[in-house]
Structures are given as C-alpha cells and as structure tokens.
Structure 1
Amino acid sequence: MGDDGFDYNIVFPEPQISERHWHGVKEPVVILLGWAGCKDKHLSKYSNMYNEQGCVTICYIAPLKTVFISESFGYKELRRTASRLLEILYDYEVENRPVLFHVFSNGGFMLYRYVVELLRGHAQFGTLHVLGTVVDCAPGSGNVRGALRALSTSLGPNVSIAARYFLLALFAVAVVLLRIVLYPLTKYFHKNHYDAMMDRPAPWPQLYLYSRADRVIRHRDVERMVAVLRGRGLSVESFDFVTPAHVSLFRDFPEDYSRRCRDFLEVCMSSTRGTESKKHFPVQH
C-alpha cells in the first residue's frame, strides 16, 4: 500500500479473532520494521504470527539507500520516514490503540531510533500509547565487517560485480571515516543509532532476541545495550538463541520464538486492561 510512494502493508485481523484474544479491549497495533534488504514475504510470517493473536499489523522496510548511504553520511532522511510511519496510525484511525514495535537488525533499529525521538518530542505522537518493543538481532555498533556482509547480502544477485565492489568500497570508506575515525567529532551533530539509544533509551518494556552465532550483529553489542538499560532501571528481557544466523531466529526456532513474542505482548497488554488507552510510559532522561 501507499499511493504517495511510501510502501507499507497493513493487515486487520478478523473481528472474532480479536475478540477471542482481547475480550473487548482494543486490540494492539504491531509495527514491524524490517531489516535492510528484507522483502514483504519475509515479514509476512511475523505479521501472521501477530494477526493470529488478533493484532493489527503494519509492515515497513526502509530503502537500502537510506540505511546504508544516508545514515552513513549523516543525512537524517529516516527521521522523515519515521514521521510518515507514525502518521499511518492516524490515517487508519487506530491511534487510540496500544502499539508494539517489532524491530529487525540495524536497518530496522536505525528507523526505530527516530521513531523513539518523535514519540518523545512531538506533541501529536507523544500521546500514543506504546506497549513495548521486541528487538530481533540488533543493535550493533562499529562492526564494519558485519555491516559489509549485510550490505553485500542486501544487494542481491542482480547487482553487477563492478557495481557491488564500488558500493561496498564507498560504504566501507564512509563508515570507517565518519563513524570511526572522525566519530569523536561527527557524533556532536549526528550520533549513530547505538549511542543515541543508549544515551536516551525508550522508556517502555523491551525484549531483545539474538544469537551469538550472528556474523552481522555481535552478541556482545546486544548484551552491552541490555546491561546498560537494566542498569538504568528499565524493564528489559533478553534471550540468546545461540545457533541461528542473522535474522534467522524465527526460522530455526519458530515455536520458541513465537511463544516469547506472544508472552511479551500479553504481559505488556495486561498492564493496559482497565486503564485509559492514552496512558503512556514516563520518559526517562
């Protein structure tokens, strides 16, 4: 969907399914932010998981150029994308329903970073009721080799060898120069997603799912983020699936993965029953 060029998919569950799961409470809206190079068919299995729980789902995948190029060179193009994404809730008149984010890899996490900033500082979006966030295989920081693997995979087989090596070289130079060598200076006008979310984390409950076998996102980066957030008194859960490759947790362990996501959603929703739908978590500074 998206006649204005903003491509997303929204799915509404059958009313009887929502009623069976939520018993008259407004069903949650789950916003799924795909990884770089992700396809609609990849996100559909996650969307189905939540639709079967009576949830509305919105799936969005940020374009490769904004994830790997714009962000690397300090252009905050994803901030506009984040604003348009939240506006979808108002377009479909579901802004009064509780919202859960499900974020994949750094590609989804980069966009999520700007969503969180808007939820903090925007008068309209600040009234949204966010339940929590599930983070799948993210976030990572300063892993040039892993980022190159991700870009190479995302480019797909149809990109010529010459174009592939040119893009990989351009990306590597940008990351090393702007995000490592000059980062002590560039961070003052554009922090990377990892540092930004560590400095001003989302205040609502979070679930981090990852694998120590991941060759794109280092498990120690995820574990460091979890430790810092817990140290700030935030509600954070995590689980290491140990063996799956990058963004393959659901593929390798579908039942365990689904159960953890469903249980997290249920716990988050249980706190909303009998409360006003506009209630939101206090901002942590």
Structure 2
Amino acid sequence: MAAPPLLKKLSQAVYLAEPATSAQDGVASGGAVKAPELILVSAWMGAQVRHIQKYCETYRQLYPRAAILVVRSNERDFFSSTATLTRSFMPAVDLLKARASGFTAGPQSGLLVHIFSNGGCLTIKHINDLLRQSSVKGDARPLLAKGLPARTVIFDSCPGLATWANSMRAFTAGVKSPFVKYPMITVLSVIYGFIRLWDFIRRRPPTLNRLSAYFNSPLFPSVPRLYLYSPTDALVRHTDVEHHAAEAKANGVDVRLERFKDTPHVAHARVEPKRYWGAVQELWEGSGAK
C-alpha cells in the first residue's frame, strides 16, 4: 500500500502531493490502463485540509504514481475581484503549465479533474480561464489554449443553481450557534438581495447560473464526465445536477451519473466509498484511447 500523500503548502489556497513513486508511465493497480499522472482536486467552499486529505489518501492508493494538486476555496472567492482570484490560484496555474502543457484534452491526457460543490466549480472556471489566456514565452502558440487538458472531469455535488435557501445554507454550513447563524443569515440575505438586484439591472443570470452554464459551453473541455450527487443534498438540488448532465449529453459529451440515495452534500464517498471510488475508476478506465 502506498504511503499517505504529504500535502505541501504552495500558497494559502494551493497544495501539492508529489507521486509516491516515479511519475513515469504506469498502470493503475492491477490493470493495463494508463493511470493519471496529475490529479487536480478542486475542494468545496471552506473545506479543511484534513477533510481533503482523505480523498488524497484514496487517490494515492489507486494511483501512486500521480501527483495530486489541491486547490481550496472559501466564501470570499464569490465576492472577490478577478485580480484577487488570479493571485490566489496562480500557483496552481503555474504548476499546470509546468506539468500538463504536453497534455491534450481527451483520451491520451494524463490529467484527472475532480470538482467538489459550487465553490470548486468557481475555482476550476477561473483556472481554466487563466490557462486559456496564457502563452508560452517566446512562442506565438497559445499554451493550453483550450483550457484544462483533462481526460476526465468529476462533478461531486455540483453544479447547482442559485436559490436563496441553498445560498444561506452554503454560507452558514460551518456555523453551529444559532446566536451567530441567524444574524449571519440576516446580513447575507441583504447582500444576496443586492447582488440579485445588480444582476437584474445588468440583465444577466445569477452567478451560480452563469457558473453552471460555463461547464456546458465551448469554453470548457467536452471530455467524459461523472456526476456524483444525491436527492438528499441540502445545498445543491439533484434536479439541477440532472438537468446539467442532460444538457451536456445533448451536446455530445460522454456523461455518467451516480445517484446516491441518502448521502449529504460532499459526503457520498464517506457513506458509500466502494461505490463512489468504483465509479471514479470506471470513468477513467473507460475514457482512454480505444
């Protein structure tokens, strides 16, 4: 069994675990399918390192030769400027430039992308946009010009659309005391109202709706994807996920859905680990060059 991954902190938001063994071409445990070389984990809003570490540990067991790049998100990201987000995520972008610039989105790529919740979606959108805007120094050819050169993308508990109730639950999820929680909801409701009014004035959909649409647009790679979700998720409606998956499928994307029965938000792996990780492996193994 591979040793647990050591997450090295590159910045406040970015962490990296180097491969347990050399990152030469390899195979997944017990199979003949080329394993990922780089796994990008985009965590949910407010996720603690110790929680993300559990996913990294399983990935290390499945794919010991893969480097694991983790990007955290927090509540401020949804209210931050593009410049602030760029500074926050640039260490991840720089590492992707260094290690994934030889990849092309599709079955030959060595990049697996795993997105958690809407917070993780916002992170990946910004990273994808930064890669599309980047260029190789001294070379007129765009670097990763089509965005993340992924072979597969996993959506865990996302993407969801904007509702007042879900937004309040998301931003107060870690608050236990009612004496803190309800005043927070009051303040957040006012902010939410102003943001929705501003969107209305500018004649544009809410942030989460635009974010959801982004992943079914030509701006994001149309590679095989897996949706892991549940109708008992209190933060993201299962109907939002299923609608997104249906739209992707209609656009010609290879889509797989794994609907869990009674699992909370971003807790599907904890409740049903065998089923969860089996679906992850099946997606990767089924997406390679035929």
Structure with greater helix share of residues: 1
Is 1:204 aligned to residue 223 of structure 2? yes
Distance 1:173 1:116 in 2: 29
Residue 95 (structure 2) aligned to one of 88, 98, 118: 88
Structure 2 match to 1:60: 71
Q: Is the 8 A contact 2:225 2:254 kept in 1?
A: yes
Q: How does 1:213-228 map to 2 (within 5 A)?
A: 213-228=232-247
Q: Is the 8 A contact 1:148 1:172 kept in 2?
A: no
Q: Is the 8 A contact 2:100 2:149 kept in 1?
A: no
Residue 141 (structure 1) aligned to one of 157, 161, 178: 161
Q: What is the root-mean-square deviation in Å for CA atoms of aligned residues?
A: 3.3
Tell me by how many angstroms 1:16 deviates. Answer: 7.1
Distance 1:176 1:262, change over 3 A: same
Q: How does 1:65-144 map to 2 (within 5 A)?
A: 65-67=76-78, 69-70=79-80, 75-76=81-82, 77-78=84-85, 81-90=88-97, 93=99, 95-96=101-102, 98-122=110-134, 123-126=142-145, 129-144=149-164
Distance 2:44 2:177 in 1: 18
Tell me by how many angstroms 1:210 deviates. Answer: 0.5
Distance 2:206 2:122 in 1: 17
Distance 1:60 1:48 in 2: 16
Distance 2:259 2:206 in 1: 33
Distance 1:94 1:239 in 2: 28
Structure 1 match to 2:39: 30
Question: Normalised by the size of structure 1, how large is the TM-score?
Answer: 0.78
Q: Is the 8 A contact 1:116 1:202 kept in 2?
A: no
Is 1:242 aligned to residue 253 of structure 2? no
Tell me by how many angstroms 1:216 deviates. Answer: 0.6
Tell me by how many angstroms 1:20 deviates. Answer: 5.7
The DSSP-based 3-state class of the residue aligned with 2:114 is strand
The DSSP-based 3-state class of the residue aligned with 2:184 is helix
Q: Deviations over 1:51-95 (max 9, x none)?
A: 11222111111232113x23xxxx43445545442212345x464
Tell me by how many angstroms 1:194 deviates. Answer: 1.4
The DSSP-based 3-state class of the residue aligned with 1:199 is coil
Q: Is the 8 A contact 2:160 2:240 kept in 1?
A: yes
116-125 or 39-48: which moved more? 116-125
Letter in 2 for 1:203: S
- The number of residue pairs the alignment matches comes to 262
Residue 39 (structure 1) aligned to one of 41, 48, 51: 48
Distance 1:89 1:81 in 2: 14
Structure 2 match to 1:278: none
Distance 1:65 1:229 in 2: 29
Q: Is the 8 A contact 1:12 1:51 kept in 2?
A: no
Structure 2 match to 1:151: 171
200-209 or 81-90: which moved more? 81-90
Tell me by how many angstroms 1:50 deviates. Answer: 1.2
Larger relative contact order (C-alpha < 8 A, sep ≥ 6)?
A: 1
Question: Normalised by the size of structure 2, how large is the TM-score?
Answer: 0.77
- Runs of at least 5 residues in structure 2 that lack an aligned partner in the other structure: 1-7, 104-109, 135-141
Q: Is the 8 A contact 2:36 2:111 kept in 1?
A: no
Letter in 2 for 1:40: V
Tell me by how many angstroms 1:187 deviates. Answer: 4.9
Structure 1 vs Structure 2: percent identity of aligned residues?
19
Residue 18 (structure 2) aligned to one of 12, 17, 22: 12
- Runs of at least 5 residues in structure 1 that lack an aligned partner in the other structure: 273-285
Structure 1 match to 2:3: none
Q: Is the 8 A contact 1:118 1:125 kept in 2?
A: no
Letter in 2 for 1:149: R
